[in-house]
């Protein structure tokens, strides 16, 4: 795989450039077709990817708008299809696979793979990967956070044939579809994805007619070499060295408090780069585990962020080595539950952001919010037939503050920046829910010289329904989104529910499943902002003033987090003014006390919280203390872990 193409038979530069662009265009055409013909709303909202592969299954081109989470996994599933069907493939065949233990991501991501032939010669593959609305298992949408193994999660599809020489294999397709809650969509998506793979087949065959098979095959090799060369050159130009960090998953639900570490040591030596996960925690008893394929993908996606201009293909993967302890949260094996792999995925990605921020300060970025995912299902009483409904949805949030620039406000999670958020009017039409608010959440952004991007809050009411249950898949209720270079964390994730007829809302936290809900219940989901970059006391007071005028930041937190004192001139005109001398004075006071605050005995902080004298933002940002946000009970081990990171990323940068 490492062998470079011999120079002697290289393509001329024009043919190379033409083939390279044509490969990418063919993949983008697949994406376009998929978007227009798909059935699963998750695919419609862009949770999909497409690729062209060479005859060995290596990626030749991946789509420009593919979501990050699929990057670096498509070649694994293509190779597994080859392993199973080698020697018996026919033109017009299409295979399916969704196996995370063979390099896939999770069961919901089903890949259709089509061999491409020139007469009798197999010359490559096209692959279309889409997140299907349901794949069976114990809960609607196939995300049961309490699953311990795959038998409760979903249908595992090891490579199977869905089309034989152009003929649709009803038997196999129906068997898969009838094991899901949404068989009509599943059959529809099979046709949509098979149609998409045919688009690339047609394009590659056209290229073969024009340039000849040998040149096209040579082009497939050379585009991989091309990316490899570019990445190697850039890595070789960086100084050799070692960087390390740790990020956490909130907890193992079957164990006591204490966060689950993912440790990464990154080594650059010459033109190679190694990521070593030694010291990462063993697999945990929820679905928040990652199989090796998904971990590889997280590394590639994190790194690709620092090489945004390069095309994606297997050439990018050749200089990366990964070492991970067996059966750890980052290398789970069959049959450990892995559907929530995107929780470790995002930790790895943000950890890589942190390390590369030191290597490439002009691209530095603090931690982004964590994906949250709500799934509710039951019977919709708005129509007499009481149809089953499945409401599931993810929200955007804030990305980390940057070097010289605030973080991106309300953007999809970093695991899949291509993913779109869903229209409320669509939600309300299809599901018995009504949105009460969907807006930017004031004070959600992690304070910093360059603040994080803002998160949102969505609050909805469950309308006429019965037998409804809700699951919530989220994290960073405790491993709160962090700042770097002295920047502050944002806020804890977690859902609250206000029962019909009750006044007070109850905090349910960031992970639960099968929670019964009833008509009239109101549930509120905030998403965190990004972590701050740099010392918030160095933020330009005028920028804080603008944030208050735009209501991104409250007057109160402008003072607490930034030490900026503002006067309201005219609320109707949104006019505020900075009180410079009061600001200078307040900043001095905060500067004098803040290290003590961050090291204050955590039990004292818990008492203040329970008395209602401080809120969760104070606890996290000022006192670096993590509590059970419902009871106010101190989480001692978690706080110790949190404080260790806080000292390193934040306190040590304060002057």
Partner 1 sequence: MEHTRVAVDVGGTFTDICIMDETSGAIRIEKIASTPDDPMRAIMDGIEIGKIDLAGVSMFSHGTTVATNALITRNLPRCAMICTEGFRDVVEIRRANKEDLWDTYKDVAKPYIPRRDRLTVRERVDAEGKIIEPLDEAGARRVGEILKKRDVKSVAICFMNSYVNPENERRMRDILKEIMPDIAISISAEIMPEIFEHERFSTTMANAVVSPVVVDYVSRLSERLKEEGYERDLLLLHTGGGVMTPNAVRDFAARLAGSGIAAGAIASRFIGNLCGYPNTIGFDMGGTSTDVSVSYQGESRITKDWYIEYGFPIRFPSIEVLTIGAGGGSLAWRDEGGSLRNGPQSAGAYPGPACYRNGNEIATNTDANLVLGRLGTTLAGGKLTLDPALSETAVRSTVAEPFGMELHEAAEAIIRVANANMANAVRLLSISRGYDPRDFALCAFGGAGALHGAAVAKELSIPTVIVPLNPGVTSALGCLLVDIQHDFSDSFMKPVASTRPEELETAFRRIEREAMAQLKHEGVADSDMILSRTVEMMYKGQWRSLQVPAPAEITDIGELVKAFHAHHQREYNYAREDAEVSLFRVAVKAVGVVPKAELQKHPVERHRPEPTGQRQVWFGNKGHEAAIYQRDDLKAGAMIDGPAIVEQFDATTVIPPGMSAEVDGYFNIRINTQG
Interacting residues with partner 1 between 156 and 175 (CB under 8 A): none
- For residue 64, what are the CA distances in angstroms to 24, 57, 109, 261, 502? 8, 19, 18, 33, 48
Answer yes or no whether residue 17 interacts with partner 1 by CB under 8 A: yes
Answer yes or no whether residue 409 interacts with partner 1 by CB under 8 A: yes
Scanning 94-102, 188-196, 531-539, 610-618 for contacts with partner 1 by CB under 8 A, the matching segment is 188-196
Structure tokens at 653: 């940068």
Q: Minimum distance from CB of 232 to partner 1 (Å)? A: 10
Instruction: Please give the Cα distance from 75 to 52 (Å, whole number).
Output: 9
Answer yes or no whether residue 7 interacts with partner 1 by CB under 8 A: no
DSSP assignment of 289-303 equals ---HHHHHHHHHHHH
Instruction: Please give the Cα distance from 323 to 319 (Å, whole number).
Output: 13
Answer yes or no whether residue 438 interacts with partner 1 by CB under 8 A: yes
CB count in 10 Å sphere of residue 4: 13
Binder among 4, 36, 255, 593 for partner 1 (CB under 8 A): 36
Closest-CA residue to 517 (of 463, 481, 593, 479): 463
Q: Minimum distance from CB of 418 to partner 1 (Å)? A: 5
Answer yes or no whether residue 384 interacts with partner 1 by CB under 8 A: no
Please work out, in degrees rounded to the nearest 5, the angle formed at the alpha carbon of residue 481 by the alpha carbons of 480 and 487: 115
Answer yes or no whether residue 20 interacts with partner 1 by CB under 8 A: yes
Scanning 417-425, 488-496, 531-539, 642-650 for contacts with partner 1 by CB under 8 A, the matching segment is 417-425
Q: Minimum distance from CB of 437 to partner 1 (Å)? A: 3
Answer yes or no whether residue 389 interacts with partner 1 by CB under 8 A: no
β-strand partners of 262 = 247
Instruction: Please give the Cα distance from 497 to 478 (Å, whole number).
Output: 19
Scanning 37-45, 115-123, 251-259, 276-284 for contacts with partner 1 by CB under 8 A, the matching segment is 37-45
Q: Closer CB to partner 1, residue 557 or residue 587?
A: 557
Binder among 27, 28, 89, 284 for partner 1 (CB under 8 A): 28
Q: Closer CB to partner 1, residue 17 or residue 538?
A: 17
Q: Exposed, middle or buried, 306 (CB in 10 Å: 0-12/13-18/19+)?
A: middle
Answer yes or no whether residue 439 interacts with partner 1 by CB under 8 A: yes
Answer yes or no whether residue 402 interacts with partner 1 by CB under 8 A: yes
Question: What is the per-residue binding string for partner 1 in 450-489, x denoting contact by CB under 8 A?
Answer: ------x--x------------------------------
Binder among 38, 177, 266, 605 for partner 1 (CB under 8 A): 38
Scanning 65-73, 95-103, 328-336, 481-489 for contacts with partner 1 by CB under 8 A, the matching segment is 65-73
Q: Minimum distance from CB of 223 to partner 1 (Å)? A: 9
The answer to whether the beta carbons of residues 301 and 71 sit under 8 Å apart is yes
The answer to whether the beta carbons of residues 175 and 162 sit under 8 Å apart is no
Instruction: Please give the Cα distance from 524 to 517 (Å, whole number).
Output: 13
Structure tokens at 438: 């969907």
Structure tokens at 144: 């049961």
Answer yes or no whether residue 435 interacts with partner 1 by CB under 8 A: yes
Q: Minimum distance from CB of 613 to partner 1 (Å)? A: 30
Q: Minimum distance from CB of 604 to partner 1 (Å)? A: 38
Residues 228-257 that bind partner 1 (CB under 8 A): 229-230, 233-234
Binder among 440, 470, 480, 617 for partner 1 (CB under 8 A): 440
CB count in 10 Å sphere of residue 286: 26
Q: Minimum distance from CB of 416 to partner 1 (Å)? A: 9
Q: Minimum distance from CB of 37 to partner 1 (Å)? A: 5
Q: Minimum distance from CB of 14 to partner 1 (Å)? A: 5
Length of the chain as a residue count: 655
Answer yes or no whether residue 366 interacts with partner 1 by CB under 8 A: no
Binder among 551, 584, 589, 630 for partner 1 (CB under 8 A): 551
Q: Minimum distance from CB of 33 to partner 1 (Å)? A: 6
Q: Closer CB to partner 1, residue 229 or residue 267?
A: 229
How many residues contact partner 1, by CB under 8 A?
87
Helix (H) or strand (E) holding 451: none
The answer to whether the beta carbons of residues 247 and 30 sit under 8 Å apart is no
Scanning 60-68, 140-148, 496-504, 505-513 for contacts with partner 1 by CB under 8 A, the matching segment is 60-68
Instruction: Please give the Cα distance from 389 to 528 (Å, whole number).
Output: 28
Binder among 79, 152, 191, 599 for partner 1 (CB under 8 A): 191
Scanning 25-33, 247-255, 594-602, 606-614 for contacts with partner 1 by CB under 8 A, the matching segment is 25-33
- For residue 577, what are the CA distances in angstroms to 443, 536, 569? 19, 19, 7
Q: Minimum distance from CB of 403 to partner 1 (Å)? A: 9
Instruction: Please give the Cα distance from 426 to 462 (Å, whole number).
Output: 15
Q: Closer CB to partner 1, residue 23 or residue 642?
A: 23
Binder among 572, 581, 592, 613 for partner 1 (CB under 8 A): 572
Secondary structure, 3-state, 311-333: CCCHHHHCCEEEECCCCECCCCC
Structure tokens at 101: 């233990």
Structure tokens at 36: 């227009």
Q: Minimum distance from CB of 603 to partner 1 (Å)? A: 39
Q: Minimum distance from CB of 192 to partner 1 (Å)? A: 8
Binder among 49, 50, 290, 411 for partner 1 (CB under 8 A): 411
Instruction: Please give the Cα distance from 600 to 586 (Å, whole number).
Output: 20
The answer to whether the beta carbons of residues 23 and 220 sit under 8 Å apart is yes
Residues 284-343 that bind partner 1 (CB under 8 A): 304-305, 307-310
Q: Minimum distance from CB of 553 to partner 1 (Å)? A: 12
Q: Closer CB to partner 1, residue 550 or residue 652?
A: 550
- The position carrying tokens 């956070």 is 145
Query: How many CA atoms, within 13 angstroms, populate the side-chain half-sphere of residue 357?
Result: 23
Q: Closer CB to partner 1, residue 226 or residue 248?
A: 226
- For residue 172, what are the CA distances in angstroms to 98, 159, 198, 365, 483? 14, 11, 20, 46, 49
Binder among 4, 9, 64, 358 for partner 1 (CB under 8 A): 64
Q: Closer CB to partner 1, residue 81 or residue 553?
A: 553
Structure tokens at 365: 């970025």
Instruction: Please give the Cα distance from 606 to 27 (Å, whole number).
Output: 54
DSSP assignment of 232-250 equals HHHHHTSPPEEEEEEEEES
Please work out, in degrees rounded to the nearest 5, the angle formed at the alpha carbon of residue 496 by the alpha carbons of 517 and 494: 120
Scanning 22-30, 268-276, 509-517, 615-623 for contacts with partner 1 by CB under 8 A, the matching segment is 22-30
Answer yes or no whether residue 199 interacts with partner 1 by CB under 8 A: yes
């Amino acid at each position: 795989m490492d062998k470079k193409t011999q120079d002697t038979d290289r393509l001329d530069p024009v043919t190379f450039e033409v083939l390279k662009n044509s490969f990418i265009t063919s993949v983008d055409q697949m994406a376009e077709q998929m978007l227009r013909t798909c059935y699963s709303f998750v695919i419609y909202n862009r949770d999909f990817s497409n690729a062209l592969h060479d005859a060995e299954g290596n990626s030749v081109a991946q789509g420009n708008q593919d979501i990050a989470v699929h990057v670096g996994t498509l070649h694994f599933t293509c190779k597994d299809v080859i392993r199973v069907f080698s020697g018996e493939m026919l033109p017009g065949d299409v295979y399916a696979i969704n196996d995370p233990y063979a390099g896939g991501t999770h069961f919901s991501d089903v890949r259709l793979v089509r061999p491409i032939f020139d007469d009798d010669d197999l010359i490559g593959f096209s692959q279309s990967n889409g997140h299907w609305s349901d794949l069976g298992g114990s809960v609607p949408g196939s995300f049961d956070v309490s699953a311990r193994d795959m038998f409760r999660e979903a249908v595992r599809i090891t490579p199977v044939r869905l089309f034989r020489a152009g003929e649709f294999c009803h038997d196999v397709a129906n068997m898969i579809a009838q094991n899901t809650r949404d068989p009509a969509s599943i059959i529809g998506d099979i046709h949509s994805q098979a149609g998409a793979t045919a688009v690339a087949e047609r394009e590659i065959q056209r290229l073969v007619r024009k340039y000849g098979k040998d040149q096209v095959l040579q082009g497939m090799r050379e585009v991989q070499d091309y990316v490899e060369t570019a990445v190697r050159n850039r890595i070789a130009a960086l100084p050799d060295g070692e960087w390390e960090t740790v990020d956490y998953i909130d907890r193992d639900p079957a164990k006591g408090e204490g966060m689950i570490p993912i440790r990464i040591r990154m080594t650059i030596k010459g033109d190679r780069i190694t990521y070593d996960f030694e010291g990462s925690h063993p697999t945990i008893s929820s679905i928040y585990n990652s199989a090796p394929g998904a971990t590889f993908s997280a590394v590639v996606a994190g790194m690709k962020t620092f090489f945004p201009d390069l095309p994606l293909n297997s050439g990018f993967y050749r200089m990366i080595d990964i070492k991970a302890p067996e059966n750890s949260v980052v290398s789970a094996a069959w049959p450990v539950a892995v559907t929530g792999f995107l929780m470790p995925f995002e930790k790895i990605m943000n950890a890589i952001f942190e390390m590369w921020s030191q290597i490439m300060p002009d691209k530095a970025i603090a931690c982004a919010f964590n994906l949250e995912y709500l799934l509710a299902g039951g019977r919709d009483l708005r129509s007499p037939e009481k149809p089953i409904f499945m409401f599931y949805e993810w929200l955007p949030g804030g990305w980390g503050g940057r070097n010289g620039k605030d973080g991106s406000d309300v953007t999809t999670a970093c695991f899949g920046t291509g993913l779109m958020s869903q229209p409320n009017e669509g939600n309300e039409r299809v599901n018995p829910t009504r949105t009460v608010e969907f807006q930017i959440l004031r004070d959600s952004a992690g304070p910093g010289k360059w603040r994080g991007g803002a998160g949102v809050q969505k609050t909805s009411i469950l309308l006429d329904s019965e037998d409804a249950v809700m699951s919530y898949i989220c994290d960073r209720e405790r491993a709160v989104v962090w700042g770097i270079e002295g920047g502050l964390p944002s806020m804890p994730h977690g859902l609250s529910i206000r029962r019909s007829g009750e006044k007070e809302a109850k905090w349910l936290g960031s992970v639960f499943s099968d929670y019964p809900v009833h008509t009239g219940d109101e549930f509120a989901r905030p998403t965190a902002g990004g972590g701050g970059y740099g010392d918030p006391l160095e933020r330009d007071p005028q920028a804080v003033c603008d944030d208050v005028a735009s209501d991104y930041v409250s007057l109160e937190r402008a003072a607490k987090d930034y030490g900026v004192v503002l006067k309201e001139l005219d609320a109707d005109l949104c006019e505020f003014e900075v009180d410079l001398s009061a600001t200078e004075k307040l900043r001095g006071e905060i500067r004098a006390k803040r290290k003590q605050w961050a090291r204050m005995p955590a039990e004292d902080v818990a008492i203040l919280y329970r008395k209602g004298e401080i809120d969760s933002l104070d606890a996290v940002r000022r006192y670096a203390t993590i509590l059970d946000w419902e009871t106010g009970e101190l989480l001692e081990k978690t706080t110790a872990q949190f404080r260790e990171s806080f000292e390193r990323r934040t306190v040590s940068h304060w002057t």
